Structure 1
Amino acid sequence: MKEFSDLPIGIIDSGVGGLTVMDELLNRMPNEQFLYIGDDARCPYGNRSPQEVVKFTQELISALNEFGVKMVVIACNTATAFALEHVQPMFNFPIIGVIEPGARTAVKKSVSKQIVVLGTSGTVKSQAYDHAILALSPDACVHGLACPEFVPIVERGVYKLAEADQVVEKTLAPLSSETFDAVILGCTHFPLLSHFIRKHLPAETELITSGSATADTAIHILDELQLHREASTKRISTFYTTGNPAHFALIVKDWLHIADPVVEKLVL
């Protein structure tokens, strides 16, 4: 099993948002190598049909399979909601998503069990978080809010600018009449806007991201299958994008603090 254990962990996302999950994985799994694919050319997935999302997800995981990976993390909530159950039986390595880990963390941290889910239109419509949360806590109350303008702001790289703050404030305005104590950032792009999101929520609100909980799940699976990589050589993280590699590299540098990331163009 040693040769297989030396393979990288694959990560897919509709764009750069999954880097927020990868950040947790890099910190928590210091010996592992990672191979990331961002489908920027077809981003966002949130307004796509379920059939399209399943097709895109299958294509990205097939590409990872060609490269050679030992596990895949679907670091995209929309793809997790629509495609996870479809693709899991298709490949001979474990595939995990981000919704169940995020739901588990929210249930643990919410006292009132009044939970808001911020997500893409597709994720909110799927009610995947509702089902996951209610399976864990049947008395919980879940309120979904679609935030369709958040992903384009992050993909354009303007997530630190006043423009982003204004969009976040406008989008979260409907929550002013809601009662809640926990908010799930139900899209992996959204943590890049967390400084503005936090600003426009009540101060005591628990802000839940799925990265840490997803890392817990990944580590548990590697433990069970005895697939942890030994630190015999320096680890390497490789990035592919279906969009603009230069633009993608700028966000990798900013978010993951990798000085000179290797970002290549992937043609599907």
Structure 2
Amino acid sequence: MDNRAIGYLDSGIGGLSVVKQALKQLPDEQVYYIGDTARMPYGPRTSDEVKKFTWQLADFLMEKDIKLLVVACNTATAATLDDLIKYLPIPVVGVIQPGVDAASQVTESNNIGIIATQGTVNSMAYYDGLKKINSDFHVLQLATPTLVKIAEQPEKNELTVNQVVTKVLLPIKASGIDTLVLGCTHFPLLAKFIQEAVGEQVKLVDPGTSTITAVAQILDDFKIRHESTNGQKRNLDKYFTTGDQKTFDLLAENWLQISNLNVQHVSIVGERLISVK
């Protein structure tokens, strides 16, 4: 039994799509989440920048004494996961391999699409992972940074969003894929628009779902699940943002469908992140 929190990090609010799955699959586990909204998006940044920022987020969560870290950002996973696994004294889970595994099991035609940030596309992490499983997979990657910006907007005009998403995904729709990996954790927030744009015949894969399944297995393997006793509820979830607290709060509450979230602002001071009560 281990009642410490699970930590989640992302460049912004996208990782909340992974948290949403965690709240469904692991309702007894406490959540500590940090979104680096002041410096998002990570996609256009250099690998060194992404590594630096990701380590700052990880160190911040480690100071909170988390028991497991979920890198709930595809760009950060591609750039930093191996180092985090090597150097942190706790289990670390990324979102790419679970997404690769899920897509490989879902596709029937072996034609798989990936939409992601430019950084994730450049890393070739999804492409290489899928090809390693089956060299016959035909993998089409498309960088869609516009979708990240749309997902981070607190106010969305559905007609405008639908038009933009449809235009951005025209190459995907024309490609003949049967499976599309939402290779950025922001994209499940736009899932209904993406599904409409590519057609109902295309199966969408949200790596967040299989990521939390992997987390559950690790909790069991390491015997670190939270166990309630005498009906005791788990501790309060905590959310941190380097950006505007009110904007983050609005987006998070809308997506998670939870009111009165405990959201705190975090200041970037030199190489460290400092909580501001």
Q: TM-score range by the shorter chain?
A: over 0.9
Determine whether 1:234 maps to 2:218: no
Determine whether 1:224 maps to 2:221: yes
Instruction: Provide the rounded CA distance (Å) in 2 between the counterparts of 1:89 and 1:57.
Output: 14
Instruction: Provide the rounded CA distance (Å) in 2 between the counterparts of 1:142 and 1:111.
Output: 13
What is the one-letter code of the residue matched to 2:55? Q
Tell me what 1:244 maps to.
244
More displaced, 173-182 or 125-134?
A: 173-182
Q: CA RMSD in A?
A: 1.1
Instruction: Provide the rounded CA distance (Å) in 2 between the counterparts of 1:128 and 1:39.
Output: 22
Instruction: Provide the rounded CA distance (Å) in 2 between the counterparts of 1:205 and 1:150.
Output: 18
Per-residue deviation at 1:55? 0.6
Instruction: Provide the rounded CA distance (Å) in 2 between the counterparts of 1:160 and 1:145.
Output: 24
Secondary structure class of the residue paired with 1:211: helix
Ranges of 4+ aligned residues in structure 1 off by more than 6 Å? none
C-alpha contact (below 8 Å) 2:38/2:242 kept by paired residues: yes
What is the one-letter code of the residue matched to 1:234? K
**Going by fraction, where is helix more abundant, 1 or 2?**
1
Matched length: 265
Tell me what 1:106 maps to.
103
Determine whether 1:208 maps to 2:205: yes
Percent of pairs with identical residues: 38
- Give CA deviations for 1:137-183 in whole Å, capped at 9, x if unaligned: 22111100110111111112245632221221111112243121000
Secondary structure class of the residue paired with 2:169: helix
For 1:17-36, list aligned pairs within 5 A. Answer: 17-36=14-33
Tell me what 2:50 maps to.
53
Tell me what 1:253 maps to.
253
Secondary structure class of the residue paired with 2:193: helix
What is the one-letter code of the residue matched to 1:203? E
* Unaligned stretches of 5+ residues in structure 1: none
- Give CA deviations for 1:40-61 in whole Å, capped at 9, x if unaligned: 0000000000000111111100
Determine whether 1:118 maps to 2:115: yes
C-alpha contact (below 8 Å) 1:54/1:86 kept by paired residues: no
Instruction: Provide the rounded CA distance (Å) in 2 between the counterparts of 1:141 and 1:96.
Output: 26
* Unaligned stretches of 5+ residues in structure 2: 268-272
Tell me what 2:270 maps to.
none
Tell me what 1:142 maps to.
139
